[in-house]
Amino acid sequence: MERMYVFPPSAILADTKPVYHTSVPSLFDITLDQIGYGLDKGSFSSAQLVKAYLARIEEVNNTFRAVIEVNPDAFRIAQHLDNEMRTSGRRG
């Protein structure tokens, strides 16, 4: 099975290593449907997903220089959306 970096809630503001979950596809080939399913089932949160993508950007961007700018509020927005999803359900 493929693995994806998923950060536990305690790692959100800490500098810790990711936890590996084998039920979530890797960032290399995850689909939007798989992301939606994982969010719906609680396999990972929006904040965890954003943190994983930001880590990947940091890891490869010096080589590829594909990302010019990252929204500095991306993580905070993801946390807000996680709270909204818990209270109101998923949008759309």
In tens digits, what is the pLDDT along the chain, a chain of 92 residues? 444 444 444 444 444 444 444 344 588 889 999 899 999 999 999 999 999 999 999 999 999 999 999 999 999 999 999 999 999 998 87
Q: What is the pLDDT, as a whole number, of residue 21?
A: 47
Q: pLDDT at position 9, please? A: 42
Full-model pTM = 0.70
Give buried/exposed letters for 47-77 (b at 16+ CB in 10 A, else e): bbbbbbbbebeeeeeeeeeeeeeeeeeebee
User: What pLDDT was estimated at residue 7?
Assistant: 45
Assign 21 to helix, strand or coil: strand
Predicted pLDDT of residue 25: 58
Confidence (pLDDT) at 80: 97
By the 10 Å C-beta count (0-12 exposed, 13-18 middle, 19+ buried), 9 is classed as exposed
Q: What is the residue extent of each domain of the chain?
A: 4-88
Which is it for strands 4-6 and 19-21: parallel, antiparallel or unpaired?
A: antiparallel
